C-alpha cells in the first residue's frame, strides 16, 4: 500500500469521526446563539476563499488576468444592489471581452 492510499484511508477515517462526533454533540450546544452565528458565516468564508483562490491562482502561481476584472465588476454590481442575474452576466461579459482582447 503506497502513501496515497494511506492518505485516502486516513482522510476517510477523520471524515467519519467528524461526522460521528457531530451527531453525538448535545443539542444545547448547537442552539447556542454564538454557534448559530458561526455556522451561518462558515459557508460565506469558504466560498469567498474558493473564489479568491480560483481567481488569482493557476497551477500554484499567482496570475492577474481577466478573471480578476470579472470579480471586480461583480463586486461593483453587487454594491449597486443589482439582481443576481445582472451580476453574473456582467462579470461573465467583462471576463469574456478581456479574454478576447
DSSP string covering 11-48, please?
HHHHHHHHHHHHHHS-HHHHTSHHHHHHHHHHHHHHHH
DSSP H or E stretch at residue 58: strand 57-58
| Helix (H/G/I), strand (E/B), else coil: 60 | coil
**Positive or negative torsion for Cα 70, 75, 78, 79:** negative
Q: Domain spans of the chain?
A: 1-26, 27-100
- Report pLDDT digits (tens) over 37-94: 998 999 999 999 999 898 899 888 898 899 999 999 999 999 999 999 999 999 999 9
- Report pLDDT digits (tens) over 2-22: 999 999 999 999 999 999 998
Amino acid at each position: 500500500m503506497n502513501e496515497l492510499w494511506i492518505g485516502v484511508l486516513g482522510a476517510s477515517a477523520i471524515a467519519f469521526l467528524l461526522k460521528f462526533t457531530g451527531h453525538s454533540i448535545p443539542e444545547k450546544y448547537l442552539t447556542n446563539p454564538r454557534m448559530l452565528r458561526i455556522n451561518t458565516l462558515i459557508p460565506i468564508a469558504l466560498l469567498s476563499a474558493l473564489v479568491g483562490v480560483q481567481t488569482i491562482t493557476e497551477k500554484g502561481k499567482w496570475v492577474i488576468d481577466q478573471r480578476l476584472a470579472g470579480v471586480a465588476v461583480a463586486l461593483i454590481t453587487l454594491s449597486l444592489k443589482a439582481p443576481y442575474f445582472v451580476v453574473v452576466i456582467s462579470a461573465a461579459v467583462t471576463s469574456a471581452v478581456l479574454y478576447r482582447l
